[in-house]
Amino acid sequence: MSQLYKLPIVTADLEQPVCGDAHVVLTGINKTYQGRAAARVPALVDIDLTIWRDEFLCLVGPSGCGKSTLLKIIADLYRPTSGQRERKPREPGAAALPPVGIVFQTPVLFPWKDILNNVMFPAVIQKRDKSRARERARELLAMVGLSDFASSYPYQLSGGMQQRAAICRALMCESDILLMDEPFGALDAMTRDELAVELKNICRRERRTVVFVTHSIPEAVFLADRIAVMSARPGRIDSVVTVEIERKNDLSVMESRAFQRLVSDVRSRIVR
């Protein structure tokens, strides 16, 4: 066995922090939807999960298992039917939590705004200083290689470039947590890989806690510090796998035996 590979942790209740202090704590989360003819459809059952500050957590599982529902509960867009969600501030006693940055499957950019103003939009809503916000937006665009397209409109950019702009907009929220719902799902394989490398670098530089939903197990292993494996609907956290392979920021790590073994291990845990 490679020295870089250790058998993953499989418990969903880790007592020791992976990356720092607890950031989001989910306890006994259940979510049930009201269906037709008074039928109730359980989506999530007994979710207990701690997300550690500054970690990159991926959610994987079969289609329809409630990954996106869980992400929206973390974002406080959905209320759980029962259970508790607690998001802890970086500084104890902080008066208010910063807003959550969210990136969806499609960029959802405003077609009537140029890229710079799309990225600046969260700052406008929050009524922050415009000159500082513009400087910050240009800095983020430079970070993802879009400096030359600040005055372009979304229709003038490729899908991958639009998604880069959407990531910049989410980072513009100045949130300490970034939630991503299959943000690369509609992209070609090459663009997807490029964005995965960029995202990994950005989140390390920006010190963001990231919760990332994906159907791609190799993508999850490449990006994540931990991978939460969910069961088929109703969704449960079946296991939490700690990624203990060499932490390279380039795609060459995917060719290693340790990487492939971990991909196989995670795949074997997903029961349809």
pLDDT tens digits for 133-173? Answer: 999 999 989 988 899 999 999 999 998 899 889 988 988 88
d(CA 238, CA 269): 8
User: What are the residue ranges of helices labelled H in 126-214?
Assistant: 130-143, 159-172, 189-206
- The residue type found at 69 is T
* Number of other residues whose CB lies within 10 A of the CB of residue 196: 21
- pTM, whole model, 2 decimals? 0.84
Residue 239 has pLDDT above 90, yes or no: yes
Distances (CA, A) of 91 to 22, 95, 158, 172, 207: 12, 9, 39, 20, 14
pLDDT in tens, 95-123: 567 778 888 888 899 999 999 999 999 99
Give ranges for CATH 3.40.50.300 in the chain: 1-100+175-272
Which pLDDT band holds residue 94 (cuts at 50, 70, 90)? low
Q: Which CATH number fits domain 1-100+175-272: 1.10.10.60, 3.90.1150.10, 3.30.70.1560, 3.40.50.300?
A: 3.40.50.300
DSSP 53: T
Return the pLDDT at 8: 37
Q: Is 36 helix (H, G, I), strand (E, B) or coil?
A: helix
Distances (CA, A) of 93 to 23, 88, 90, 96, 97: 14, 10, 9, 9, 10
Return the pLDDT at 248: 65
In this prediction, residues 257-261 reach a mean pLDDT of: 91
Of 116, 161, 159, 108, which Cα lies nearest the Cα of 136? 116
d(CA 181, CA 5): 28
Q: How many residues can be counted in the chain?
A: 272
pLDDT in tens, 22-35: 999 999 999 998 87
Return the pLDDT at 184: 85
Which carries the bigger pLDDT value, residue 24 or residue 20? Answer: 24
Of 230, 248, 249, 178, which Cα lies nearest the Cα of 207? 178
